[in-house]
């Protein structure tokens, strides 16, 4: 794999290293942490949407499972947060594996519908089981701790998340250029071609769906621990759409695009916080304009213009 594809990673790592000294106050620190978390989630989702060419309109549901596992299991069942996170990931993985095979026999709009339905059902369950989940008002999440060391200060969180992001970008880049990654991208390019090359198409789709779901669940747990509180809005349809928007804007099938998309669209709601209704309008307009004029997303379109590959 050519060295130049990693320049972006080095750049990201450099930025991450310098940021704490540059950011003026804890508000921006918090924003940076949220951006980094979103970036990791979007990376996982992009593997499914951008690289493998599938659709998921219910991914926030998986985030929700992880987040609520980290809230409910320690609070109501005394489970250690790390085990709770693992449990959440396991449940998500099983659910995704169970539903993936029938889902991926469908294509196009049917697939979108199935993932959407799944996400909505999860959201409704979380909203309704108030005894466990605190209902629409949500519930607090205990701090994440390992070996007696509790992760609570912003600074600690920052470094943890920065490492996580760097690792995720590195791993994604590796994955894309491996045999597995090529098979994934081939799925998007031509399923027929993949099949005759020996790729078991359904199995691959199922795998990437499960991987991407488990990823989301883990990150859902991380977010829950960081914020310290979780509400069902975290797992709602709009959040799923936000995530898809980040994938689409930054660039489907672009690792760096995922990061860029997360940066842009996590910062945007903050900027629009005072214009409540406009946030929706702006999101919608961005989605439409992007898909009409730049269907491949920012990073790939710009890269093509300047003659590079990303």
Restricting to residues 192-211, which ones interact with another protein according to CB under 8 A?
Answer: 192-201, 207, 211
- Kindly indicate which of the ranges 73-81, 83-91, 156-164, 173-181 contains the residues binding another protein, using the contact rule CB under 8 A: 173-181
9 is a site residue for another protein (CB under 8 A): no
What is the C-alpha to C-alpha distance for residues 43 and 219, in angstroms, rounded to an integer? 11
Q: How far is the CB of 136 from another protein (least distance, A)?
A: 11
Q: Return the residue of 103, 169, 260, 303 that touches another protein, per CB under 8 A.
A: 103
Q: State yes or no: residue 26 binds another protein (CB under 8 A).
A: no
Query: Both tokens of residue 151?
Result: 């992760």
Cα-based distances in Å from 156 to 15, 127, 150, 240 = 17, 32, 10, 28
Q: Considering only residues 4, 18, 159, 178, which one is a binding residue for another protein as defined by CB under 8 A?
A: 178
Distance (Å, rounded) from C-alpha 128 to C-alpha 278? 29
Q: Is there binding between residue 110 and another protein (CB under 8 A)?
A: yes
Name which of residues 29 to 58 contact another protein (CB under 8 A). 49, 53, 55, 57
User: Any contact of residue 286 with another protein (CB under 8 A)?
Assistant: yes
> Residue 63's closest CA among 187, 219, 177?
219
Please choose, out of 21-29, 64-72, 213-221, 247-255, the segment that lies near another protein by the rule CB under 8 A.
247-255
Nearer to another protein, 150 or 200 (CB): 200
Closest C-alpha among 88, 42, 63, 56 to residue 230: 63
Binding another protein by CB under 8 A: which of 19, 82, 86, 113?
A: 113
Exposure on the CB side of residue 223, measured as CA atoms within 13 A:
28
Distances (CA, A) of 192 to 46, 101, 186: 22, 18, 9
User: Cβ of residue 183: shortest distance to another protein, in angstroms?
Assistant: 6
Site for another protein in 126-165 (CB under 8 A): 128
Rule CB under 8 A: choose which of 81, 181, 220, 297 binds another protein. 181
Q: Does 237 bind another protein (CB under 8 A)?
A: yes
Separation of alpha carbons 119 and 271, rounded Å: 28
Q: Output the six-digit token pair for 275.
A: 């214009």
Residue 285: exposure state from Cβ atoms within 10 A (0-12, 13-18, ≥19): exposed
């Amino acid at each position: 794999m050519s060295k130049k594809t990693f320049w972006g990673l080095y750049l990201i790592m450099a930025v991450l290293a310098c940021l704490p000294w540059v950011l003026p106050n804890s508000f921006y620190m918090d924003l940076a942490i949220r951006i980094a978390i979103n970036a990791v989630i979007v990376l996982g989702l992009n593997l499914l949407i951008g690289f493998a060419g599938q659709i998921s309109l219910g991914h926030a549901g998986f985030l929700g499972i992880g987040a609520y596992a980290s809230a409910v299991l320690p609070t109501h069942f005394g489970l250690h947060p790390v085990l709770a996170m693992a449990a959440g990931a396991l449940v998500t993985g099983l659910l995704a594996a169970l539903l993936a095979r029938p889902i991926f026999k469908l294509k196009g709009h049917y697939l979108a519908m199935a993932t959407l339905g799944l996400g909505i059902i999860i959201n409704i369950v979380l909203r309704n089981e108030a005894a466990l989940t605190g209902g629409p008002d949500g519930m607090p999440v205990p701090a994440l701790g390992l070996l007696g060391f509790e992760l609570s200060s912003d600074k600690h969180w920052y470094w943890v998340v920065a490492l996580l992001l760097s690792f995720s970008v590195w791993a994604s880049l590796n994955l894309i250029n491996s045999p597995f990654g090529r098979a994934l991208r081939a799925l998007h390019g031509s399923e027929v071609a993949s099949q005759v090359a020996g790729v078991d198409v359904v199995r691959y789709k199922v795998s990437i769906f499960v991987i991407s779901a488990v990823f989301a669940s883990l990150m859902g747990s991380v977010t829950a621990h960081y914020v310290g509180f979780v509400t069902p809005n975290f797992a709602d349809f709009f959040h799923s759409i936000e995530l898809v928007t980040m994938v689409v804007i930054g660039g489907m099938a672009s690792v760096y695009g995922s990061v860029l998309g997360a940066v842009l669209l996590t910062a945007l709601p903050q900027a629009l916080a005072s214009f409540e209704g406009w946030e929706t309008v702006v999101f919608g307009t961005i989605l439409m304009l992007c898909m009409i004029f730049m269907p491949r997303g920012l990073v790939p379109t710009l890269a093509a213009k300047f003659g590079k590959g990303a």
